Amino acid sequence: MIQVALQKMGYSDSFYELLKEPLRFLTVRIPVRMDDGSVQVFTGYRAQHNDAVGPTKGGIRFHPSVAEDEVKALAIWMSIKCGIADLPFGGGKGGIQCDPRSLSLPELERLSRGYVRAISQIVGPTKDIPAPDVFTNSQIMAWMTDEYSRIREFDSPGFITGKPIVLGGSAGRESSTAMGVTMFIKESAKVAGIDLKGAKVIIQGFGNAGSFLSKFLHDAGANIVGISDANGALYDCAGLDIQYLLDRRDSFGTVTNLFSNTISNQELLVKECDILVPAAIENQITEDNASLIQAKIVVEAANGPTTLKATEILTERGILLVPDVLASSGGVIVSYFEWVQNNQGYYWPEEEVHTKLEQIILKSFHNVYQTSQQKNIDMRLAAYMVGLNRLTEAIKWRGWI
Ligand SMILES: NC(=O)C1=CN([C@@H]2O[C@H](COP(=O)(O)OP(=O)(O)OC[C@H]3O[C@@H](n4cnc5c(N)ncnc54)[C@H](O)[C@@H]3O)[C@@H](O)[C@H]2O)C=CC1
Ligand SMILES: O=C(O)CCC(=O)C(=O)O
């Protein structure tokens, strides 16, 4: 995508050579004392895609399938995402190969602190600012802030975002990814001529992004007919009882294990709906199921849920696809606000955060949508062209190319 976008923008191959890989990539090994006295060694990564625009920024994922290529791709997507929202950041991302669901809280704390010790040389408020992602949360950000502050010997809230409010977190950050997706859904429903009231919505993933989203859309009058988690999915064309599901989900976004009438994640994606929101992991909509998707709009809350071949199939079928680098930007936008507030030591009320978030989201959506209309290209390619603009300009001004 980067190559195609750069060619369309008239940039030389040198730009692609520079941007096709992260500038820096660190692999670390983290020894953790387990509760039974044994030591387990975990592998972690931190990728910094490009810092021409400013410090790199992006979440940390704890998941059994975290891999080098995945972390690199996620860091590159963060550069595009920050570019579209016009934030003064490049892209970064981190991850630890682990299953936090099988760790005790003390083990999780030791692992989180060990990771910060291992990457502390290359991160920091003016270098690279992490945040939550899959299976990480504000508690983990709090331990990480504390560890980093101890290493540096001063309180450093600007080292990481997604913190609890009492440690310098921003009002609205926890629900910001979903709030952003909700705003994108409202705008895309308008251009697709869909009334959100009564629209049937399927959401894959019931964690931070998916669960808040189900609440916001339900409150906006949409009918949530399907949800899922790592164990399975629930579908009811008459609509699910969202409040009941929210009350019963665990801290890892799992709820379907309480039901016997579940279907698989793959079955859920092709069920009847108006709006489909993948909000879990990568590579869920592929050439195997893209022709079976029944939604009129697909809004990617997750990073990388749709392959490029599937993007082509959906576009040919006239389905409006709002790509990840645009649709999931609410989180990093409010993370930027959190970092700004930490740097100022002055904190904004939630309404101010929402107003500022909405301004950026509306501008981003219409920039990308208009580019796609004017150039007759799909929203993903348009998003890459908009997102690469600031980065390529910064590279030129710095004289790197
Ligand atoms: N948390 C944030 O601020 C942001 C998250 N995202 C993206 O949104 C997606 C979801 O992230 P979060 O909600 O933060 O994570 P989370 O850890 O809070 O929730 C993840 C959800 O996905 C489900 N899941 C995990 N593995 C799965 C599998 N193999 N198949 C189906 N479902 C599975 C989990 O059961 C859970 O319901 C990810 O792609 C993440 O990168 C994007 C932007 C910001
Ligand atoms: O909030 C952030 O800084 C990054 C969020 C993130 O990892 C993402 O948008 O994928």
pLDDT (tens place) for every residue of the chain, 401 residues total? 999 999 999 999 999 999 999 999 999 999 999 999 999 999 999 999 999 999 999 999 999 999 999 999 999 999 999 999 999 999 999 999 999 999 999 999 999 999 999 999 999 999 999 999 999 999 999 999 999 999 999 999 999 999 999 999 999 999 999 999 999 999 999 999 999 999 999 999 999 999 999 999 999 999 999 999 999 999 999 999 999 999 999 999 999 999 999 999 999 999 999 999 999 999 999 999 999 999 999 999 999 999 999 999 999 999 999 999 999 999 999 999 999 999 999 999 999 999 999 999 999 999 999 999 999 999 999 999 999 999 999 999 999 99
Extract long-range pairs of 217-221: CB within 8 Å, 24+ residues apart: 217/182, 217/185, 218/242, 218/243, 220/182, 220/186, 220/196, 221/196, 221/197
pLDDT of residue 94: 98
The preferred substitution site among 163, 208, 306 for testing ligand 1, maximizing ligand atoms within 8 Å of CB, is: 208
Closest atom of ligand 2 relative to the 93 alpha carbon: 7
Q: How high is the pLDDT of residue 199?
A: 98
Measured in Å, residue 58 CA sits from the centre of ligand 2 at 4
161 CB within 6 A, ligand 2: yes
* Residue 157, CB-side half-sphere exposure with 13 Å CA sphere: 23
By DSSP bridging, strand 232-235 and strand 223-229 are antiparallel
- 157 alpha carbon to ligand 1 midpoint, in Å? 24
User: ipTM, 2 decimals?
Assistant: 0.98
Q: What is the pLDDT of residue 7?
A: 97
Q: Which atom of ligand 2 is nearest to the CA of 61?
A: 7
Residue nearest to atom 9 of ligand 2 (CA): 332
User: Considering only CA atoms, which residue is closest to atom 2 of ligand 2?
Assistant: 332
Query: Can you give the pTM of this predicted structure?
Result: 0.98
CA-based nearest residue to 274, from 291, 306, 299: 299
CB 181 within 8 A of CB 209: yes
Compute the distance between CA of residue 60 and CA of residue 111 in angstroms, rounded to an integer. Answer: 13
Report the DSSP beta bridge partners of residue 277. 203
Ligand 1 atom nearest to CA at 329 = 43
Taking the CA of 254 as reference, the closest ligand is 1
| Annotated active-site residue in 72, 93, 200, 271 | 93
pLDDT of residue 115: 98
SS (H, E, C) the chain: CHHHHHHHCCCCHHHHHHHCCCCEEEEEEEEEECCCCCEEEEEEEEEECCCCCCCEECCEEEECCCCHHHHHHHHHHHHHHHHHCCCCCEEEEEEEECCHHHCCHHHHHHHHHHHHHHHCCCCECCCEECCECCCCCHHHHHHHHHHHHHHHCCCCHHHCCCCCHHHCCCCCCCCHHHHHHHHHHHHHHHHHCCCCCCCEEEEECCCHHHHHHHHHHHHCCCEEEEEEECCEEEECCCCCCHHHHHHHCCCCCCCHHHCCCCECHHHHHCCCCCEEEECCCCCCECCCCHHHCCCCEEECCCCCCECHHHHHHHHHCCCEEECHHHHCCHHHHHHHHHHHHHHHCCCCCHHHHHHHHHHHHHHHHHHHHHHHHHHCCCHHHHHHHHHHHHHHHHHHHHCCC
Q: How far apart are CA 153 and CA 400, in angstroms?
A: 35
Residue whose CA lies nearest to ligand 1 atom number 20: 207
pLDDT score of 190? 97
The answer to whether 93 is a known catalytic residue is yes
* 47 alpha carbon, closest ligand: 2
- Which-ligand-closest: CA of 89? 2
